[in-house]
Amino acid sequence: MRQFTFLFIIGILIALSSCRTDFETVASTGDLKFSRDTIYLDTVFTNIGSSTYTLKVYNNSKNDITIPTIQLGKGLNSKYRMTVDGTQGNQGKIFNNVNLLAKDSVYIFVETTANIADANPTDFLYTDQILFDGGTNLQKVELVTLIQDAIFLYPQRYDDGTTESLPIGNEEIYGFFLDENDPVNGNELTFTKQKPYVIYGYAAVPSGKTVSFDPGTRVHFHANSGLILAKNASLNVNGTTSTTDKMENEVVFEGDRLEPDFFDVPGQWGAIWLTDGSTNHKINHLTIKNAAIGLLIQNNNGTTVDIKNTQIYNSSNYGILAQTAKINGENLVVNNAGLGSLACTYGGDYKFTHCTFNNNWNSSSQVAVLVNNYYTGATPEVKDLTAATFNNCIIYGSYSNEMILNKKTGSAFVYQFNNCLIKFNNDSNQYTNNPEYQFTTDPLHYNAIIQNKDPKFFKIAENKFNIDNTSAAFAKGNATYLISLDILGNTRTLPPDLGAYQNKPFPK
């Protein structure tokens, strides 16, 4: 009986305490502590919402307190908005009587959507403050955002509610054709460095037209967006050598999330798609970052795709995926791809000189270089690989074998590696009798191969593939295949180094 009475009393106490929804508080005395005194919201494009940033507010006193007001300095006119302890307040701008227990804290989440016209015209900063309490108890946390103006390109929305789209095979995709006589933007086939561009959906270059990118152009693609070259359309990227680390003359294609957390996140946007029948593509000093496929190159109408002094990083699928294409690559660097940095598939004609192909993707299915002459399920399934030539190149990565040659009979399969450093281990002897991998005894396909030696790249994680004179690639090239300047415009000496970079002492 005594035990039953005790449990009954405990139950009543629990019920009474659970019914209490308020607690006694005292007014805040201006002694709040903050996780930071200024919140820097990273650069955003005009009228594009920012990421959400966090401020933690601490009550270090022994009293439960009430903060009379938490509000933005510009009140309801502020371009910032907040959530305080999970509540929205008055339009996310003003909050009254916020309770905070002793020795406890509350989270405030802040974001913004602002126009370039809202920013200070001299530095393009948009600022405000979070104000806590008022009078002699007033405390402030500063808010700062850099607003960047841009040219926005996107599909039209029609009066009937439908949106412009592109016919791709038997399907329609979200996209639009670039217009050389656009009434707002002018010639959309000529991209300049005056402002960055932000593209929504796939921007298509019409048949028979050429899209050009001037030195210093910056193009940002939204999720599931990219660039498509139609039949008989051409791509002309005209970047030039830069003199600083800001790559001021490089053309850059990347995603539209500018926050540091998205700096090296793969798969933020779609691809640069050179479709079957597109033609006469010339790419120089282009950097492609964080796409699903950096360059998707299909049968390019018998013409050569020239890719020079170009870098492709952090592709969720492929850096370059070529299908029955014809490519000439010089001073090309491709790193980190979910499946392959370079995939030359379904036959084609390829020549790469002084190129660096590396893959450190954390997956056993990744590879730096894949070459094959088939496409499963296609008609015909096999096509001629008339040439796959690699001169003075580096093929390396984090896994045992970073090169795959997949040959199907019934079609030509012509390949040659001259003066290349290749990571290819045969620890289990499974390739000992495979005729495609006889690096030391097959002069028809392999000459002066350096196998499984560390090129000692400067900083792989930062996509810096410079080498110095301690590298296994130092002075191992053949002058017959010399490209006189490296990817940075440095003069190569003789004998040249392998890969896209001429050796230099690493910076301190």
CB 373 within 8 A of CB 411: yes
pLDDT in tens, 354-408: 999 999 999 888 999 999 999 999 999 999 999 999 999 999 999 999 999 999 9
Mean pLDDT of 52-68: 96
Question: Which fold does the domain 26-148 belong to in CATH?
Answer: Immunoglobulin-like (2.60.40)
pLDDT number for residue 405: 98
Mean pLDDT of 481-491: 98
Q: How much is the pTM?
A: 0.89
Only one residue has tokens 């593509």, namely: 281
Distance (Å, whole) CA 55 – CA 106: 8
User: Within a 10 A sphere around the Cβ of 487, how many other Cβ atoms?
Assistant: 25
Mean pLDDT of 56-73: 96
pLDDT number for residue 428: 84
Tell me, what DSSP letter sits at residue 80? E
Strands 94-100 and 65-72: antiparallel
pLDDT in tens, 149-203: 999 999 998 888 889 999 988 889 999 999 999 999 999 999 999 999 999 999 9
DSSP per-residue letters across 310-368: EEEEEESSEEEEEEEEEEEEEEEEEEEESSEEEEEEEEEEEEEES-EEEE--SSTT-EE
pLDDT in tens, 11-31: 544 444 444 445 588 989 999
pLDDT in tens, 75-123: 999 999 999 999 999 999 999 999 999 999 999 999 999 999 999 998 9
pLDDT number for residue 273: 98
Mean pLDDT of 275-303: 96
pLDDT of 219 above 60: yes
Distance (Å, whole) CA 477 – CA 458: 19
pLDDT number for residue 15: 47
Distance (Å, whole) CA 446 – CA 416: 6
**Overall residue count recorded for the chain in this entry:** 508
Distance (Å, whole) CA 310 – CA 357: 12
Distance (Å, whole) CA 407 – CA 410: 9
Helix (H, G, I), strand (E, B) or coil at 437: helix
pLDDT of 62 above 90: yes
Domain locations along the chain: 26-148, 151-481
